[in-house]
Chain A
Amino acid sequence: MAEKVLLKGNELLVEAAIEAGCRFFAGYPITPQNEVPETMSWRMPQAGGVFIQAESEIAAINMLFGASAAGARCMTSSSSPGISLKQEGISYITAAELPCLIVNMQRGGPGLGNIRAAQGDYFQAVKGGGHGDYRLIVLVPGTLPELYQLTMNAFDYADFYRNPVLILGDGILGQMAEPVELTPYEPILDLPPKDYVLDGCKGRPPRVVKTLYLHPTDSLVQHNLHLQEKYARIRRELNLYEEYETEDAELIVSAYGVPGRIAKGAVKMARREGIRAGLIRPLCVWPFPAAPFRKAAQTAGRFLVVEMSFGQYVEDVKLAIECRRPVAFLGKGGGWYPSQEEILEEIRRLSSKAQDPASVKGSV
Chain B
Amino acid sequence: MNSPSETKIIIAGFGGQGIVLVGNLIARGALMEGKNVTGMVAYGAEMRGGTAYATVVVSDEEIACPFVEHPDAAIVLNRPSLEKFEPSVLSGGLVLANTSLVKRDLQRSDVSLIQVAATEIARELGNLKVANMVALGAFIQHAKLLRADSIERAIGDLFSAKNPKFLPLNLAALKAGMERSRFVGPAVGGRRS
Contacts of B175 in A (CB 8 A): none
Within 8 A of B (CB), among A265-304: 265-266, 268-269
Q: Would B64 and A179 count as touching, CB distance under 8 A?
A: no
CB distance from A269 to the nearest CB of B (A): 7
Q: Would A172 and B69 count as touching, CB distance under 8 A?
A: no
Q: Would A115 and B65 count as touching, CB distance under 8 A?
A: no
A267 to B63, CA, bound (A): 13
Partner of B65, one of A6, A32, A179, A262: A262
Q: Per-position contact with A for B53-75: 1 when CB-CB < 8 Å, else 0? A: 00000000011111101000000
Q: Would A176 and B64 count as touching, CB distance under 8 A?
A: no
Q: Would A6 and B67 count as touching, CB distance under 8 A?
A: no
Q: Per-position contact with A for B1-22: 1 when CB-CB < 8 Å, else 0? A: 0110000000000000000000
Q: Would A179 and B40 count as touching, CB distance under 8 A?
A: no
Q: Would B43 and A262 count as touching, CB distance under 8 A?
A: no
CB distance from A55 to the nearest CB of B (A): 25
Q: Would A4 and B31 count as touching, CB distance under 8 A?
A: yes
**A337: Cβ under 8 A from any B Cβ:** yes
A339 to B3, CA, bound (A): 15
Question: What residue in chain B is nearest A177 (Cβ atoms)?
Answer: B39
**B138: Cβ under 8 A from any A Cβ:** no
**B44: Cβ under 8 A from any A Cβ:** yes
A265 to B36, CA, bound (A): 14
Q: Would B27 and A340 count as touching, CB distance under 8 A?
A: no
Q: A32-B43, A177-B27 are in contact. Are A266 and B66 (CB under 8 A)?
A: no
A6 to B36, CA, bound (A): 11
**B115: Cβ under 8 A from any A Cβ:** no
Contacts of A340 in B (CB 8 A): 2, 64-65
Q: A115-B44, A269-B2, A339-B69 are in contact. Are A6 and B39 (CB under 8 A)?
A: yes
**A348: Cβ under 8 A from any B Cβ:** no
Question: What residue in chain A is nearest B41 (Cβ atoms)?
Answer: A175
Question: What residue in chain A is nearest B67 (Cβ atoms)?
Answer: A337
Question: What residue in chain A is nearest B64 (Cβ atoms)?
Answer: A265
Contacts of A6 in B (CB 8 A): 24, 27-28, 31, 37, 39
Within 8 A of B (CB), among A228-284: 258, 261-266, 268-269
A269 to B37, CA, bound (A): 19
Interface residues on chain B, number (Cβ under 8 Å):
21
Q: Helix, strand, loop or mixed for chain A's interface?
A: helix
A92 to B107, CA, bound (A): 61
Q: Would B43 and A175 count as touching, CB distance under 8 A?
A: yes
A32 to B40, CA, bound (A): 12
Contacts of B28 in A (CB 8 A): 6
Q: Would B38 and A178 count as touching, CB distance under 8 A?
A: yes
Which of A6, A32, A115, A262 has the most CB atoms of chain B within a 10 A radius of its CB? A6
Q: Per-position contact with B for A113-143: 1 when CB-CB < 8 Å, else 0? A: 0010000000000000000000000000000
A175 to B38, CA, bound (A): 10
Within 8 A of B (CB), among A336-355: 337, 339-340
Contacts of A261 in B (CB 8 A): 63-65
CB distance from B50 to the nearest CB of A (A): 15
Contacts of A266 in B (CB 8 A): 64
Contacts of A263 in B (CB 8 A): 64
Q: A4-B31, A6-B31 are in contact. Are A265 and B40 (CB under 8 A)?
A: no
With A264-B62, A265-B65 known, 16 other A-B pairs at CB within 8 A are A6-B24, A6-B27, A6-B39, A31-B43, A171-B43, A175-B41, A177-B27, A177-B38, A177-B39, A179-B37, A262-B65, A268-B64, A269-B2, A337-B67, A339-B65, A340-B64
| A-B residue pairs in contact (CB < 8 Å), sample of 30 | A4-B31, A6-B28, A6-B39, A31-B43, A32-B43, A115-B43, A172-B66, A175-B40, A175-B41, A175-B43, A176-B39, A176-B66, A177-B40, A178-B37, A178-B63, A178-B66, A179-B31, A179-B36, A179-B37, A261-B65, A263-B64, A265-B63, A265-B64, A265-B65, A268-B3, A268-B64, A339-B67, A339-B69, A340-B64, A340-B65
Task: Pick the 3 closest A-B CB pairs, nearest first.
Answer: A265-B64, A177-B39, A262-B65
